[in-house]
A and B are shown apart, each in its own frame.
Chain A
């Protein structure tokens, strides 16, 4: 950071090393508020889009996998393989089809959140006691009522756990979207690296990412308390 530790080329200290490069610089945030907000907006849109789309696809898959043992095996096997594919490779595979667009990032993120959610949804649905479902059916519940009034509330804690894991890891993964120019706050992180190691920009992007992830997690915990009031009453 100080001039004394800067690299010396041909006896002269480079201007880059002479310039101050603080890790935290409030004036950077003030001066670049507009672009920070724009990247933050893209980050939030990609995260919400990926988790919502992932949940919409994962729920029917989990319901199918619960119904048949033959489907459960392949669903879990495919999800294990998708898990293992690194995000850089995933975005690179999708890139030839959708190009340098936010769609490329969104498809990759949906794939990851989908496999997390299928597993957790399936675990939640399998945790619903069979005799409870049996009793509901005996009382005349149809399959729709059975799902909305029995399965969904009882599996809700596991569903929310899945949504929390998917959301937090998606927030972190969006940054890799810089590969195709749509990495949300990742644009700040890599942009700072490419702008002569501009530390203030990198730290701003990183801190916002972590805050966003923790905030989303807190919101989901709050949502869980709202939709499952009975678990709180039981504990108290």
Chain B
């Protein structure tokens, strides 16, 4: 228990937050890497997912990409980019995290858009909507819950994985844990772990609220049993809900 008390003492010292390489600086670095990676992955994966889903093509390859990505250890991908000619540091970390954030966004967007009722799309065409209008005004609103699930999964995954970057010379909050192990400072290890866990849980909460805000129709939270019953594990080819 001593380590936990030391961690509280460490976190209560304002100097540990504001100094150079302090908590605030590491937190800012962690968030900057994560936000850039998630946005980049969204910009890449979202249009592909919408296109494949709307044209109902490439389902097999999306599922394969999503499943194989589960088997690749995040630490391995981070390390591979760190020893590539890019060199270790925040740029290599960001690229590796972007690649990791693509499968959940791609798979969920694809499944969401493909799952839109064909009758509804036909009706939309029938009232004179163009193909683009059908995608913007019918497909996307109906697929919104799953698209947001993909974004939430990717964001939590990226924030969690970013902490591993410290093991291979990257920045972010993981550096506190790494430094703690290097200095045999158990309080520092626990303080870093607390901040990392808290950041991941907060990310999840913020994205849940965002989902609630942008989803049209009846509002649902992810812990609502109605939604959970609708998603049977066998029928869900997404990378949602795996620990990192």
B84 CB, nearest partner CB in chain A, Å: 9
Say if the beta carbon of B209 comes within 8 Å of chain A: no
**Contact across chains for A89 and B71 when beta carbons are under 8 A apart:** no
Mask of B190-222 contacts with A, CB within 8 angstroms, 1/0: 101110110011001000000000000000000
Kindly identify, within residues 60 to 77 of chain B, every residue whose CB is under 8 Å from any CB belonging to chain A: 68, 70-76
Please state if B167 and A112 are interface contacts (CB–CB under 8 Å).
no
The answer to whether B194 and A186 have CB atoms under 8 Å apart is: no
| Residue numbers in B under 8 Å from A179 (CB-CB) | 167, 177, 181
Please classify how large the interface on chain A is, using the bins under 10, 10 to 19, 20 to 34, 35 or more: 35 or more
Which residues from chain A contact B85 at a C-beta distance below 8 Å? 1, 5
Chain A residues closer than 8 Å to B80, beta-carbon distance: 202-203, 206
Q: Which residues of A contact B74 (CB under 8 A)?
A: 172, 176
Asked if B234 and A161 make an inter-chain contact with CB atoms under 8 angstroms apart, the answer reads: yes
Contacts of A183 in B (CB 8 A): 75
Identify the closest chain B residue to A171 (Cβ): B71
> Which of chain A's residues 18-66 have a Cβ closer than 8 Å to chain B?
none
Residues of B within 8 A of A83 (CB): 241-243
Cα of A175 to Cα of B74 in the assembled complex, Å: 9
Asked whether A9 is an interface residue with its Cβ less than 8 Å from the other chain, the reply is: no
In the complex with contacts A158-B234, A162-B233, A178-B75, A92-B193 CB distance below 8 A: yes
CB of B186 closer than 8 Å to a CB of A = yes
**What is the total of A-B residue contacts with beta carbons within 8 Å?**
162
Interface centre among B74, B83, B168, B169 (most CB of A within 10 A): B83
Residues on B with beta carbons closer than 8 Å to the beta carbon of A115: 243
Bitwise interface map of B from 180 to 191 toward A, beta carbon under 8 Å scored 1, else 0: 110000100110
Across the interface, A189 reaches (CB within 8 A) one of B75, B177, B242, namely B75
CA distance A92 to B190 in the complex (A): 6
Q: How many angstroms from the CA of A171 to the CA of B70 in the assembled complex?
A: 10
A190–B83 CA distance with the chains assembled, in angstroms: 11
Q: Which residues of A contact B54 (CB under 8 A)?
A: none
Question: Which B residues are closer than 8 A to A by beta carbons?
Answer: 2-4, 68, 70-76, 79-80, 82-83, 85, 156, 159-161, 163-164, 167-169, 174, 177, 180-181, 186, 189-190, 192-194, 196-197, 200-201, 204, 223, 228-229, 232-234, 241-244
Q: What 20 additional pairs, Cβ within 8 angstroms, besides A76-B223, A86-B160, A179-B181?
A: A81-B201, A86-B200, A88-B163, A89-B177, A89-B200, A92-B189, A92-B192, A96-B4, A96-B189, A116-B242, A116-B243, A158-B233, A165-B242, A176-B75, A176-B164, A197-B83, A202-B80, A210-B68, A210-B71, A214-B71
